[in-house]
Amino acid sequence: MSAGQKGILVVDMGAQYAQLIARRVREAHVWSQIAPPDRALEIAREMELGGIILSGGPASVYAPDAPSLTEEILELGVPVLGICYGLQWLVQALGGTVVPADKHEYGRTSVQVRRDEHIFEAVAGRTVVWMSHADRVEALPEGFEVYASSNDCPFAAIGNPERGAFGVQFHPEVTHTVRGREILQNFVWRVCGLEASWRPDSIVQREIEKIQGQVGDDGEVVLGLSGGVDSSVAALIVHRAIGDRLHCIFVDNGLLRLGERESGEALFGQHLNMDLTVVDASAQFLEKLAGVRDPEAKRKVIGHEFVEVFREEAKRFTNARFLGQGTLYPDVIESVNVHGGNTAVIKSHHNVGGLPEDLEMDLVEPLRELFKDEVRDIGRHLGLSDVLVDRQPFPGPGLAVRCLGELTAERLESLRLADRIVTSEIEAEGLHEGLWQYFAVLLPVRSVGVMGDARTYEEACAIRVVQSEDAMTADWVLLPQELLAKISNRIINEVRGINRVVLDISSKPPSTIEWE
Ligand code: XMP
Q: Per residue in 458-478, pLDDT tens?
A: 999 999 999 998 787 899 999
pLDDT confidence tier of residue 409, bands split at 50, 70 and 90 = very high
Ligand 1 atom closest to the CA of 347, numbered from 1: 3
CA–chain centroid gap for 82, Å, is 23
Nearest one of 136, 194, 133 to 164, comparing CA atoms? 194
Rounded distance from Cα 331 to ligand 1 centre (Å)? 8
pLDDT confidence tier of residue 227, bands split at 50, 70 and 90 = confident
Nearest one of 299, 264, 301 to 284, comparing CA atoms? 301
Is the shortest distance between the CB of 393 and ligand 1 below 6 Å?
yes
Return the pLDDT at 3: 61
Q: Which residue has the higher pLDDT, 387 or 166?
A: 166
Question: Is cis: bond before 509, omega within 30 of 0?
Answer: yes
Is the shortest distance between the CB of 395 and ligand 1 below 6 Å?
yes
Ligand 1: which of 304, 347, 468 to mutate, judged by most atoms within 8 Å of the beta carbon? 347
CB 46 within 8 A of CB 24: no
Rounded distance from Cα 294 to ligand 1 centre (Å)? 16
The answer to pTM > 0.85 is: no
**Whose Cα sits closest to atom 18 in ligand 1?**
395
Return the pLDDT at 339: 37
Return the pLDDT at 443: 98
Return the pLDDT at 1: 52
State the Cα–Cα distance between residues 123 and 181, nearest whole angstrom: 11
- C-alpha pair distances (Å), 84 with each of 111, 209, 212, 346: 15, 39, 42, 25
Checking if the pLDDT of 343 tops 90, the result is: no
Rounded distance from Cα 47 to ligand 1 centre (Å)? 29
Is the shortest distance between the CB of 350 and ligand 1 below 6 Å?
yes
Phi, psi at 271, each rounded to 5°: -85, -40
**Whose Cα sits closest to atom 17 in ligand 1?**
349
Return the pLDDT at 68: 83
Rounded distance from Cα 205 to ligand 1 centre (Å)? 28
Return the pLDDT at 246: 96
Is the shortest distance between the CB of 396 and ligand 1 below 6 Å?
yes
Helices (H), 144-294: 180-185, 200-215, 229-242, 260-265, 282-289
Nearest one of 499, 504, 497, 448 to 479, comparing CA atoms? 504
User: What is the pLDDT averaged over residues 413-419?
Assistant: 98
State the Cα–Cα distance between residues 116 and 273, nearest whole angstrom: 54
Is the shortest distance between the CB of 367 and ligand 1 below 6 Å?
no
Return the pLDDT at 480: 98
Return the pLDDT at 266: 82
**Whose Cα sits closest to atom 3 in ligand 1?**
512
Instruction: Report CA torsion sign: 131, 132, 138, 144.
Output: negative
Is the shortest distance between the CB of 471 and ligand 1 below 6 Å?
yes
Checking if the pLDDT of 267 tops 80, the result is: no
Ligand 1 atom closest to the CA of 346, numbered from 1: 3
Helices 409-428 and 481-494 cross at an angle (nearest 10°) of 150
Rounded distance from Cα 395 to ligand 1 centre (Å)? 5
Terminal Cα distance for the chain, rounded: 32
In one letter, which amino acid is 432? H
Is the shortest distance between the CB of 437 and ligand 1 below 6 Å?
yes
Is the shortest distance between the CB of 354 and ligand 1 below 6 Å?
no
H or E stretch at 310: helix 295-314
State the Cα–Cα distance between residues 321 and 311, nearest whole angstrom: 9
Ligand 1 atom closest to the CA of 328, numbered from 1: 15
pLDDT confidence tier of residue 5, bands split at 50, 70 and 90 = confident
Is the shortest distance between the CB of 23 and ligand 1 below 6 Å?
no
- The CA-based angle 111-126-96, given to 5 degrees, is 30
Catalytic positions:
84, 171, 173
Return the pLDDT at 341: 44
Ligand 1 atom closest to the CA of 326, numbered from 1: 15
Q: Which of 139-153, 157-171, 349-363 has the lowest mean pLDDT?
A: 349-363
State the Cα–Cα distance between residues 508 and 203, nearest whole angstrom: 30
pLDDT confidence tier of residue 103, bands split at 50, 70 and 90 = confident
pLDDT confidence tier of residue 334, bands split at 50, 70 and 90 = low
State the Cα–Cα distance between residues 351 and 338, nearest whole angstrom: 14
Q: Enter the DSSP assignment of 257.
A: P
Ligand 1 atom closest to the CA of 299, numbered from 1: 17
Rounded distance from Cα 392 to ligand 1 centre (Å)? 11
Ligand 1 atom closest to the CA of 468, numbered from 1: 24
Rounded distance from Cα 11 to ligand 1 centre (Å)? 24
Checking if the pLDDT of 440 tops 50, the result is: yes
Rounded distance from Cα 380 to ligand 1 centre (Å)? 22
Strand bridging mode 165-168 / 80-83: parallel
